[in-house]
Amino acid sequence: MPGWRFSPLSINLGDSSDLAVESAATANVGRYGKQLDHLAEALEVFIDHLNLLDSDLAAGKKDILKVFLGDVAAVRKLKSRLRLGRAAVS
């Protein structure tokens, strides 16, 4: 949302082209992080299904996919660790 403010941090992502749609999507579909998680998971499926890391794709492009998959795995590991920590506190 434009103009978020967390003192002393200010986040301004610019104006939305349709604030009503953006607000409804984040309220009913999921926050941006959740939406990004879904996109990342879908891309993982495509990369695996198409065997892109074992294909004749250029090495530089494979490296990009490997970095992406590494980031997805790191976020998944972090989320798992944080959820385990919350479960231990409960």
82 and 45, same structural domain?
Answer: yes
57 and 22, same structural domain?
Answer: no
62 and 20, same structural domain?
Answer: no
48 and 66, same structural domain?
Answer: yes
Number of domains in the chain: 2
The pLDDT, as a whole number, for residue 78 is 93
Residue type at 21?
V
71 and 37, same structural domain?
Answer: yes
The pLDDT, as a whole number, for residue 47 is 97
65 and 24, same structural domain?
Answer: no
List the chain pLDDT tens, one digit each, 90 residues: 555 555 555 555 667 788 888 888 888 888 888 899 999 999 999 999 999 999 999 999 999 999 999 999 999 999 999 988 887 776
The pLDDT, as a whole number, for residue 4 is 53
| Domain encompassing residue 82 | 32-90
38 and 25, same structural domain?
Answer: no
Interatomic CA distance for residues 9 and 6, integer angstroms: 5
